[in-house]
């Protein structure tokens, strides 16, 4: 007979004491650490344990005994379900305290390096409507609560955000406060149009349906870009024949995808273009109305053609006296005004006099490279996405910047000792890697290049701490500046100045 699982316990009269990673709160019951979502330090609650391990458990609130004096009323009607803004129930000043503490804890606990006194965290200029980009999924199934499912509420289509743990469903969004309200009007118009004209929404399990994804971008220049991602009516599911290798199967699959993208045999183009016409008519504010046909099994479109329905295929972002071209495949910091403050810290830490050779790693569209170029002798930028590098070159041209060079490719393959020998040993390296941090090969090349200073901009202080430890023998941490780019979320950016010992 199989062993029966013991019912998980209820924990009574528990006081929430702190904030933990991923926006969860933390309590201690005897020697057990308990992680609780949607709680606030100071709450006294009864908890139902949902997952139990040896040294910690996860639990949900089933009853409030006393609510924390720190609690405030969330602005968003979707708070507590959406998962995007986990801290709207906390005053912003308290959010900043916890983010500052998060950076300190991770650099201390993981990095284990000598640290200077941290600068006070830099709060965001705007607390709402600060994002310049949102990505909405379209699905034939909306997310339902357990209570709704018990009541037999039927699934319906929706446009919104994916819910953690339910990959094939989305939570329909009526109003998101993270971007200018035009995002809500566009999304709600598209949803109603789709219902009125019986357009199909994407089925993530069957991999078919017309409406798949909508990306919206805006800029301080007042421009708007909207990208529709359309799906196929007949998903290309390649069955690997007996004896056929996985490599052959993948190659054949890719060939079928390319052929379908050229022929568009299973794309309801007339319906898609009618929708685009309606959106253009309703929202003349959209200066770049684009679409992608994606018959693949994932939502990435970096390897697919982007088509212009109306306007141009880019918008311009503004920063100081610079203009930056941002295309549909370009990375740009999603909080524009706060990005200026973030990059200003990086430029300050670089201590440029006009004589330095600067390497800008993970340069994106060359924002940092062009931002610091006027104070450097020369800037060399490296980025994985070729389209972003082309934008970086154009951004230099648009701004009459003549002392930049840009290269596209995998960082660990481009940045080598041979590359440094060819282009010169940098005086300063500015690095802004993705959440995973820097590859060990990249760190080794930095150490071999021996720059005087390294300015490390990070969206993940945990991996930043790991990398600082790998560089500690040669570089000391001279300054630390946390920067909040994303109010109401647990995410925090951090800029560290490293000086050669």
CB distance 499 to 452 below 8 Å: yes
Residues marked as catalytic: 459
Burial of 495 (0-12, 13-18, 19+ CB in 10 A): buried
Assigned token pair, 140: 């034939």
Task: Give the Å distances, CA to CA, from 51 to 35, 59, 85, 310, 335.
Answer: 10, 7, 23, 50, 35
Assigned token pair, 61: 């609130």
How many other C-beta atoms lie within 10 A of the C-beta of residue 227? 21
Reference 406, options 471, 361, 342; nearest CA is 361
Contacts of residue 466, Cβ cutoff 8 Å, sequence gap at least 6:
110, 111, 437
CA–centroid distance for 23 within its chain: 15
3-state secondary structure of 335: coil
CB distance 210 to 199 below 8 Å: yes
In angstroms and rounded to an integer, the radius of gyration of the C-alpha atoms of the chain is: 25
Contacts of residue 418, Cβ cutoff 8 Å, sequence gap at least 6:
none
């Amino acid at each position: 007979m199989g062993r029966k699982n013991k019912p998980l316990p209820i924990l009574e009269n528990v006081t929430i004491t702190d904030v933990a990673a991923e926006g969860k709160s933390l309590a201690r019951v005897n020697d057990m650490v308990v992680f609780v979502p949607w709680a606030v330090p100071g709450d006294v609650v009864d908890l139902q344990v949902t997952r139990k391990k040896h040294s910690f458990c996860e639990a949900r609130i089933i009853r409030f005994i006393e609510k924390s004096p720190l609690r405030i009323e969330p602005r968003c009607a979707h708070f507590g379900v959406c998962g995007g803004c986990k801290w709207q129930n906390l005053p912003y000043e308290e959010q900043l305290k916890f983010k500052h503490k998060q950076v300190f804890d991770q650099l201390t606990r993981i990095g284990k390096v000598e640290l200077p006194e941290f600068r006070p965290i830099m709060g965001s200029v705007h607390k709402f409507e600060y994002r310049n980009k949102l990505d909405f999924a379209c699905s034939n199934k909306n997310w339902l609560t357990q209570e709704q499912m018990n009541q037999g509420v039927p699934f319906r289509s929706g446009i919104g955000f994916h819910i953690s743990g339910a990959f094939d469903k989305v939570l329909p969004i009526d109003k998101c406060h993270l971007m200018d309200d035009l995002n809500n009007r566009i999304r709600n118009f598209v949803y109603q149009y789709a219902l009125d004209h019986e357009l199909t929404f994407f089925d993530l399990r069957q991999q078919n349906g017309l409406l798949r994804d909508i990306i919206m971008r805006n800029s301080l220049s007042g421009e708007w870009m909207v990208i529709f991602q359309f799906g196929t009516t007949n998903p290309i599911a390649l069955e690997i024949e007996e004896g056929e290798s996985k490599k052959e199967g993948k190659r054949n699959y890719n060939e079928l995808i390319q052929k379908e993208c050229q022929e568009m045999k299973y794309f309801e183009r007339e319906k898609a273009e009618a929708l685009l016409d309606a959106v253009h008519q309703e929202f003349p504010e959209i200066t770049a109305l684009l679409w992608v046909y994606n018959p693949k099994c994932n939502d990435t479109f970096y390897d697919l053609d982007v088509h212009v329905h109306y306007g141009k295929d880019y918008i311009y972002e503004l920063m100081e006296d610079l203009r930056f071209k941002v295309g549909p495949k370009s990375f740009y910091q999603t909080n524009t005004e706060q990005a200026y403050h973030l990059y200003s810290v990086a430029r300050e830490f670089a201590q440029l006099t006009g004589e330095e050779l600067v390497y800008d790693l993970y340069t994106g569209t060359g924002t940092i490279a062009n931002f610091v170029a006027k104070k450097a002798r020369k800037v060399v930028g490296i980025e994985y996405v070729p389209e972003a590098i082309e934008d970086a070159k154009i951004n230099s041209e648009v701004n009459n910047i003549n002392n930049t060079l840009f290269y596209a490719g995998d960082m660990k393959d481009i940045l080598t000792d041979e590359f440094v020998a060819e282009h010169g040993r940098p005086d300063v390296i500015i690095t802004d890697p993705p959440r995973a941090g820097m590859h060990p090969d990249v760190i080794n090349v930095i150490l071999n290049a021996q720059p005087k200073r390294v300015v490390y901009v990070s969206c993940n202080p945990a991996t930043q701490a790991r990398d600082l430890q790998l560089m500690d023998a040669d570089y000391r941490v001279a300054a630390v500046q946390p920067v909040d780019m994303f109010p109401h979320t647990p995410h925090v950016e951090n800029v560290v100045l490293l000086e050669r010992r």
